[in-house]
Every structure is written in C-alpha cells, then in structure tokens.
Amino acid sequence: MDFIKTDVKTCDELLRSYKTSGVTPRDAQKLIFNGSGVDGKDVYNISAPFLDEGVLVIAGRVESRDSEQSEIMFFVEQDGVWIPREGAPVFQLQDPFFTRIAGELVLGGVETFPNPDIPDALKWRTVLYKGERINTLTSFFKGPDGMKDIRLVELADSSIGVFTRPQGEKGGRGKIGFVRIGSLNELSTDLIDEAPLLEGQFTDAEWGGANEAHLLKNGLVGVLGHIACFDDSGDRHYYPMAFAFDPADGTFSDIELIAVRDAFLPGPSKRPDLMDVVFSGGLVRNIEGGTAVLYAGISDAEAQKLTIVDPFVKFEN
C-alpha cells in the first residue's frame, strides 16, 4: 500500500490536528477493581480483555500509589466489578500486554531490577511468557536491558513481526523499530537491538512506542501506541496514537492521535506531573460499527475505557 507521508509531527501539532478533526469519543467509563491483593492499591495500564478458557480476562498493573513495585494480576468481571481471578498466577512485572502466536497465548510485561551503574535506581527489560492458557504460562524470553514496549504480531504468512523501542544512542528518548522472524525461537537480544527504526515518527525531544499490534484483513498491521513529551515545567504528556504498517516493504502511515486525557473521566494522578498521561493498553475493534473500545491507563493511577472511531478501518478499505 502506498502511504502518503508528511513531515514528522510534534505532540503539539498532532494535538491541534486532533482537536480540529471533529472526533468525538464517547462512553468513557472507569473500570472498578476490588478483591484480595487489590484493596488499597491502584490498577492501571491494563490490557484489553481477552478470552482464556472461555472467560473474558483483563491483565492489570497493580501497585501502591507511592510505589513503583508492581504486580501483574488477572481479573474477571463480576456484577460490574473486576475481581482477581481465582487460581491465576501473579507476576512481578509492570504494564501487561498479550497476543497470540501459532495458537498460543503470549503475555509480556516489564521487569525492573537494580541498576548496576546507578545506586538506588532501577533498570528494566521486557519479559515474555507463553502457554496454552494463563495457568500454563512460562517465561521464554527476556529482551535487552533498558527496553520496554517490545510487541509481537503474527502476520498473514504466519511469520512474526516484532516491534522494538530502543533508547539511548540509537533511539534517543525512544523510537519504534521493526524486524520480522520466522518463529519465536529466533528471538534474541541482538536481533532486537539491531532492528531498523521506523524513521520520521518522532522528534528527538519526544518519544513513543507500540502498545499493541493488530493484523488487518489485508495483511497490513494496525499499531496502537503512544507518543509522549515533556512541557516547559517538566510535566509529562502521553497521548494514545495509531498508525498502519506494511510488513511487506516497511512503509507506514503518519501517526494520528486517537484520544486525549480530557475525553476520559476526571480522576486521581500518581503524581502531579503525570496528570496528562493516557497509556494505551489495548483496542477491541467493533468491525461492523466502525468503532473500537480503547482500554487505557489514566494518570498512572486508574483504568478506563472509551469508545472511539476505529483507527484502522480506513486502511482496510
């Protein structure tokens, strides 16, 4: 597919385009979490719901408001409240995500550990698990130290697309890369480190990453992600965004914002500088209606969902 590309856009430019687009998200709802291990803690940066043994499940990041020590827990809905799933494992990770590869559930999260170079600081890496169902998940891969937002997608020819997000000398504050592999056995830290970047998506002062990848009916990949920046006061601004990617030739569409913090309900923030943070968790597409439900972490303190225009329909048509 031939994408019409424009110059790289900053958060402010994308925000202006979003506000003049006439887009009107609706039906914002807070997700309520209760139960053992959750009471008194926040649940945010959730996944979209997915089926496990015939039951809809959400994975969520659980932590105290004053801490970064997180657990991934699995929840099922009961009378409008999401409660911990009985007998489900708990992982010492942040920011869960999932996909399915060759019929298996693949779940990932961010593992933190002491930074060997900076006292009292943490470093992080992406950890991947796989299994037929949640209760049989086993760890099979750890990504490069310092890299979040590694995402996988099974492509139309059964190969696997891997989105990466290096930081530092190669990726600055964080840019998206892509590499294609034949099977999960081919994953390696070197392969991920060497994945080519999708050039022209972010300025050097800003950053972003992929949060979820959807195989579209024409073989393209719809990427749900985020783009972020600091303002002059040092506050962070995270915006949910989307673009389409062609794995056949590596081309991709422009980034578009799909929601903003004000479209969601008011609520608390983990810290004052995180008030304007929306972290894309997952997207459930309503194919017939041309809409989708965005599941997101809000202000690093809670989880909400929002009905939006499906950002990928136009690429399938």
State pTM to two decimals. Answer: 0.96
The pLDDT value recorded for residue 118 is 87
Structure tokens that stand for 134 in this block: 């949640």
Q: Tell whether the model's pLDDT for residue 111 goes beyond 90.
A: yes
Q: Each residue of 32-45: pLDDT tens digit?
A: 999 988 989 999 99
d(CA 259, CA 26): 10
What domains are defined for the chain?
11-316 (2.115.10.20)
Please list, residue by residue across 228-257, b when 16 or more beta carbons sit within 10 angstroms of its beta carbon and e when fewer do: bbeeeeeeebbbbbbbbbbbeeeebbbbbb
d(CA 81, CA 66): 24
Q: If you compute the radius of gyration of the chain from its CA atoms, what whole number of angstroms results?
A: 18
Structure tokens that stand for 147 in this block: 């890299």
d(CA 59, CA 47): 5
The pLDDT value recorded for residue 247 is 97
Q: Which of 252, 257, 199 is nearest to 228 (CA)?
A: 257
Amino acid at position 287, single letter: I
Q: Each residue of 206-258: pLDDT tens digit?
A: 999 999 999 999 999 999 999 999 999 999 999 999 999 999 999 999 999 99
